[in-house]
Amino acid sequence: MDRSAITRRNFLKVLGGAAAAAALPAAPWAAEPIGAGGASPRRPNVLFIAVDDLRPQLGCYGRKQIVSPNINRLAAEGLLFERTYCQQAICMASRASLMSGYRPDKGGIFNCGPLYECVPGALSLNRHFLANGYETASIGKVYHHRSDETVGWSRGAYHPMGQWVGRGYLAGESIAEVKAYARAHPKETRTGMGPAFEGPDVADNAYADGMHADRAVALLGELKDRPFFLAVGFLKPHLPFCAPKKYWDLYAEDKIDLADNPFVPKGAPKIALTDWGELRGYAGMPAKGDMPDDLARKLIHGYYACVSYTDAQIGRLLDELDRLGLRDNTIVVLWGDHGWKLGEHTMWCKHTNYELDTHAPLIISAPGAKARGRSTRALTEFVDIYPTLCDLCGLERPAHLEGASMAPLFDDPDRPWKRAAFSQYPRGRIMGYTMRTDRFRYTEWRNMQTGATVATELYDHASDPAENTNVAHDPARAGDVAARKEMLRAGYKAARPPGA
């Protein structure tokens, strides 16, 4: 347990002795004391839900073909962020950045190592809540690296053995049993990448995410009488696209549309593209070249099924909050760690700086917020989640945070906000820095040793929202490029919201 190690003195030491940010907005729970003599302010619980590889392919984001009633319900109760961007379109760095409040350049987070190796002593989000008297618990995939689960939690992380039937792991099997089976059946796929999709007629908890929901429901009952920060990380719709048959049955495969822009963006530099090796490693996938249409449709079907499967597990958590009477004092945060491509631009998976990869879903339901059931088009970033939760829960904001609190948007979702959101992705010694403004996406690929720019991209979302044409080298766009170059070089501090 980490609680005893994070005393008030150590907490201030981590902050570098700096005073906390002033003028925190009043949280609606602050006036209701709990404990003996009302010594501690009553603060809301936080149910923190992470979903792996979830792009905004949801009904509440206008994608009506997707069956996501529970996430839609959460959006109807909270604030939906239409334009939120991750800091790097890969799970390791995205999660470490979000949980630490640092952008990926800090300590080389972009290299995808464990957070506490990149930034020793980092005051992570869960660690901060633990230091402020919260019970903190982790279920499933919250951080990518297991070593990051040893710091800042009041109990051990929960990871069930039940994984994917196609990879040979069935609910309840031990590692020894899997290895023994593999030795006895050497020609069967038990420990390799296995198939990219499957839909067996099994219960939800035959897969790990159903077991994650089981554990989360039980833990809510255990924690209901004290403030908690409960993080639940669902694996699906990450590859392989494996979900119980009933979720596949929600969709007719012959009605599923393929990507309407299955071509490389015109004028895009080669360094901006990927060959989606993550997917090619699964059985039956093409080793090179494009994805055949019939296989693409099957994969999209599997992705949709996994989204609906995870949606059902999220619904179980929301139902349990209601059953326990916790809903009115619990902030629910739902985020996908980055976007994902389903054949757009001839690509699959993530690992680029395009809108499809950097744009991710975010919904926050905060009891007492004025903006209940509304959406905001404000440009926001994952590094903004940490300071926002500090404000909503009445906690001090650590001085190191590199995002801006989104709390004012819960009163006025249409207020003027950031001028830009920033992401990045490395390619060896070259770093691609990208910036999304209200109208444009501008990207510079720079040599990390010399600082020289080796490639430039500009996409005009007013005329090209799918980012199909790079206009950075069009002489008529020289002024647009120059203005965006200046903004990118000025960085995130110059793009902060008014008054932040």
CA-based end-to-end distance of the chain: 35
Query: Is residue 23 helix, strand or coil?
Result: coil
Instruction: Reply yes or no on whether 351 is catalytic.
Output: no
Rounded CA separation 170/86 (Å): 33
Residue 447: in which H helix or E strand, if any? strand 440-447
Rounded CA separation 231/130 (Å): 13
**Given the residues 86, 91, 112, 242, the one annotated as active site:** 91
**Given the residues 144, 159, 238, 351, the one annotated as active site:** 144
Q: CB burial class (10 A; 0-12, 13-18, 19+) of residue 208? A: buried
Instruction: Reply yes or no on whether 91 is catalytic.
Output: yes
Cβ density class 72-107: b for 16+ within 10 Å, e for less:
bbbbebbbbbbbbbbbbbbbbbbbbbbbbbbbbbbb
Length of the chain: 500
Beta strands in 106-235 (DSSP E): 135-140, 197-198, 228-234
Dihedral in degrees, nearest 10, Cα atoms 441, 444, 445, 448:
-130
DSSP lists the bridge partners of residue 51 as 234, 336
Q: Tokens for 297?
A: 């449709």
Known catalytic residues? 91, 144
